[in-house]
Amino acid sequence: MSTTPDPLAALGTIPGVADSVDSVRKAVDRVYGHRIMRRRSNEITSEAALRGARGSAALSGAEWALEEVRRRSDFSGDDEARAVGGALRLTAEAGQLLSIWRQSPLRVLARLHLVAAAGADEAAGRPRLAGESVEEPLIELPLPDADEVAGRLEGLSRLIIQGGSAPALVTAAVVHGELISLRPFASYNGLVARAAERIVLVGSGLDPKAVCPAEAGHAELGRAAYVAALEGYASGTPEGMAAWIAHCGKAVELGVRESTAVCEALQRGAA
């Protein structure tokens, strides 16, 4: 019986990708094995959500201190405040969409954009139309036209619905990279792409308690490295794809480090 090739699984055979997958798996296992995770995982999840949102907003140009994000309640003042507010809302919303993702990823992406825009964009929740501009800080990759966006979104949706044997890291990296490359919405594409990456990592079972905030890791690696790695993804070459997947793997590992530090701090406080 013939089978349909799994292009995501094929990415796992690119030299170096398997090493990234293995390194991430070991890092995640370590934080899940921490003593504090057995008793206070909800606190770790909450703190990881905050740090992840802060990191995602930073990559969209709003570099706020963690305590400022923790303290603020009004995020309507300016573009930076709206980016932080959008990131926080998306982090909260992502957990509610896990069951829908595998059946209707495009519906989830539309919902994520609605949540990120929060009424600030009259085109919220739908892919951009021909001739519509895109506001996306820091990303200067060539912008595909609306027809190409529609076709590639459908292709991405089919891959997700069909499932396959690709490691969670590979799938998450491709979803993230594809959405940033396409920038299917008129705004907040970076926030949506990073929230979608979170959904894949959590929904796949790699990080079921959402305690490994890859967004925080992406921010720690820096904007320049983020953009350079995205250019590798957009190139479509095996080397570029491997570099992007490795970058996403490092981001997850740095997210693990963040939560491990939180575990250690809670453990010291309980001692």
Could you say which DSSP state residue 186 is in? S
What is the C-alpha separation between 258 and 200, in angstroms, rounded?
20
* Bridge partners of residue 187, in order along the sequence: 135
Write the CA distances from 55 to 3, 136, 194, integer angstroms: 40, 16, 10
Q: What is the CA radius of gyration of the chain?
A: 18
What is the C-alpha separation between 37 and 236, in angstroms, rounded?
39
Q: What is the pLDDT of residues 95-115, one digit of tens each?
A: 999 999 999 999 999 999 999
* Bridge partners of residue 135, in order along the sequence: 187
Instruction: Write the DSSP assignment of 103-133 as a string of letters.
Output: T-HHHHHHHHHHHHHTTS-TTTTSPPPTT--
Query: Which pLDDT belongs to residue 5?
Result: 58
What is the C-alpha separation between 234 and 157, in angstroms, rounded?
18
> Does pTM surpass 0.85?
yes
pLDDT > 70? residue 1: no
Angle, CA of 32, 36 and 40, to the nearest 5°: 100
Model confidence at 270, pLDDT cuts 50, 70, 90, reads low
Q: Is 74 exposed, middle or buried (0-12, 13-18, 19+ CB in 10 A)?
A: exposed
Query: Which pLDDT belongs to residue 163?
Result: 87
Residue 177 makes CB contacts below 8 A (sequence gap 6+) with 193, 230, 233, 234, 244
Q: What is the pLDDT of residues 5-36, one digit of tens each?
A: 577 888 888 888 999 999 999 999 999 999 99
The percentage of the chain sitting over the pLDDT mark of 90, rounded to a whole number, equals: 82
